[in-house]
Amino acid sequence: MLTAPKLRLLALIAALAAPGFASAKTAADLILHNGQVLTVDAAFSRATAVVVRAGRIVGTGGEDVLDQYSAPQVIDLHGRTLLPGFIDTHLHPIPIGPSDIDPQSARSVGDIQALVRAKAAELGPGRWITGYGWQEAALAEHRNLTRADLDAAAPANPVLLVRAGAHSAVANSLALKLAGIDRSTPDPKGGLIEHDASGEPGGIIRERQDIIEALIPPPTWAAMKAPMIQTLRGFLALGITSFHDASGTIDDEPVGQGGVAPPPGGEAASGEMTFRRAQALYAEMGDRLPRLTMYISYPGAERLRAFPHHTGYGDDRVRLGAIGENLVDGGFTGPTAWLLADYKGQPGFRGKGRYTDAELQDMVDQANRLGWQLGLHCIGDAAIVQTINAYARSLETIPDPAHRADDRRWFTDHFTIMPPDATMATMARDHIAIAQQPNFLYNLENRYVALLDDWRLAHNNPIATPAHTFGLFMAFGSDNLPIGPLVGLYAAITRKGPSGAVHGPEEAIGRAEAIRRYTADGAWLSREEAIKGSLEPGKLADMVVLPFDPLTADPQAFLDGKVDMTFVGGKLVYARP
């Protein structure tokens, strides 16, 4: 006779033997499957599915993950490509403020004049009109804007429009008059005032537009906060899940702890996103923004010593990065990049450096003593040589108790013109890395062709030689020219400009390597390679979906393609309509 306990035991045995019991599914939050998954792990492994729980990857594999896991959200990729979110190692968030026009979409001088004219009508006479992002290559006239262009649109308003790249700007007559700039005004230190054929200022100021910007009433952070959020969320549509803000400051920290006293009736750092403001913004917005590593512009030795933190402080949402991108020279959008040879067609002109050797060494040494990573702007080969010499002396003479001598992770920002072999050998010896912008080759092709000799043109923004010949570590970013990572990938693998010409094909790299430099390698630069940059179990589920295969598609797909989906911490933060 079967007793009640025996009946319960038989029922349990039957349940254990029932189909599916032994394969009870593990709970997860999100499954993406039926795609091409590029994990970007050490072997660049591929899979078809990814499983996410609590914001992190818990598994990758084939379609059998559907038998192993269950989740309330299951996304069929329908063959699309899933890869780690892009990490841009050099960005400047530039929101549209109350006095700004947005000239980035303009396709002619007339388009920009229409924008200026409309803003003048909106603001009324006497009010400043500003904006960022115009570039002559995008205009039908293929020339720089002039004072006369802006005068025709807004004669009763002072106007200053900064060119894309922020190394030059154009002002109208009223703005120049307010700044006291006329035909006899000498060039400011580190900058140039261009003149027209009659000797009058033509409107363009290279590198030192701050002499006019100082006159413009700054917006408040309250006015800029919402536009900043909109700008940051725009990065998600480009597949950027992490970025390094190269324009951060500590100006609004308490006085005595690194900050500065605000002006009477104003606020420190005006409408800029400082580290303190970034922390508050991300506490409010949660996972709805891309992760942020913030460079800090060198504030001087005294203020830096008073600031209680250094590189690495923060969390996986907002953290401190390098001291940078303090400019050792200018750029080619000026152009004032500092070269070892004359600019093509400009005998005797090689650009300008910003620091004496002693000034640069003092900045590097002070930051080094306080435990900061260094990431200084150096575009021309002369500036790179000066920067690497300063880095090398500091690394040799100042120990860092927190990091091995070969693990400081200092880097140069840009590295546009390849320096002499001896300089790259020093970089290899001292483990100095590069934050490179391959998209410069595409966006600035016309400038390079006009200004560089054949050798420097072929090796502009080099990748293969420094990385493969000298073993230098390199991560990619954009510096806003343009922001989209797909343009950078296109330039890195093709070395083509908009003209279709190939410049220095020997500097091109393969697709898998290019993808790694825009994902996993960016995480290394912020000491976060253990938590992001690849789709491996335990890492943050920061991911992007592309509608094409970046390993096999025609290169034009990088220029024409759009991002379909972006995830930060396993949350869908962007979906293309």
Give the range among 9-13, 140-144, 318-322, 348-352 with minimum mean pLDDT.
Answer: 9-13
Given a cut of 60, whether residue 14 has pLDDT beyond it is no
pLDDT at 387: 98
Structure tokens at 204: 């363009």
Radius of gyration of the chain (CA): 26
**Which pLDDT score is estimated for 2?**
52
Distance of alpha carbon 102 from alpha carbon 114, whole angstroms:
11
Q: Lowest-confidence range among 157-166, 300-309, 502-511?
A: 157-166
Inter-axis angle of helices 357-369 and 381-397, nearest 10: 40
Burial of 354 (0-12, 13-18, 19+ CB in 10 A): buried
**What pLDDT shows up at residue 4?**
54
10: pLDDT strictly greater than 80: no
Give percent of the chain with pLDDT exceeding 70. 96
pLDDT in tens, 39-72: 999 999 999 999 999 999 999 999 999 999 999 9
pLDDT attached to residue 422? 98
Give the Cα separation of 518 and 476 in Å (integer). Answer: 5
Under a CB-based contact definition with an 8 Å cutoff, are residues 97 and 224 in contact? Answer: yes
The Cα 548–Cα 79 span in angstroms is 9
What average pLDDT is seen over the chain? 93
User: What mean pLDDT comes out for the span 6-24?
Assistant: 51
Q: Is residue 21 over pLDDT 60?
A: no
Model confidence at 22, pLDDT cuts 50, 70, 90, reads very low
For 187-223, write each residue's pLDDT tens digit: 998 888 999 999 999 999 988 999 999 999 989 999 9
DSSP 8-65: HHHHHHHHHHSTTSTTPPEE-SEEEESSEEE--STT--EESEEEEETTEEEEEESTTH
For residues 506-513, average pLDDT = 98
User: What domains does the chain contain, in order, with CATH numbers?
Assistant: 100-213 (3.10.310.70), 324-509 (3.20.20.140)
Give pLDDT, residue 15: 45
Q: What is the distance between the terminal CA atoms of the chain, rounded to a whole angstrom?
A: 67
Tokens linked to 553: 């598609």
pLDDT in tens, 520-535: 999 999 999 999 999 9
382-402 tens-digit pLDDT: 999 999 999 999 999 998 777
The region of weakest confidence among 82-86, 156-160, 269-273, 497-501 is 269-273
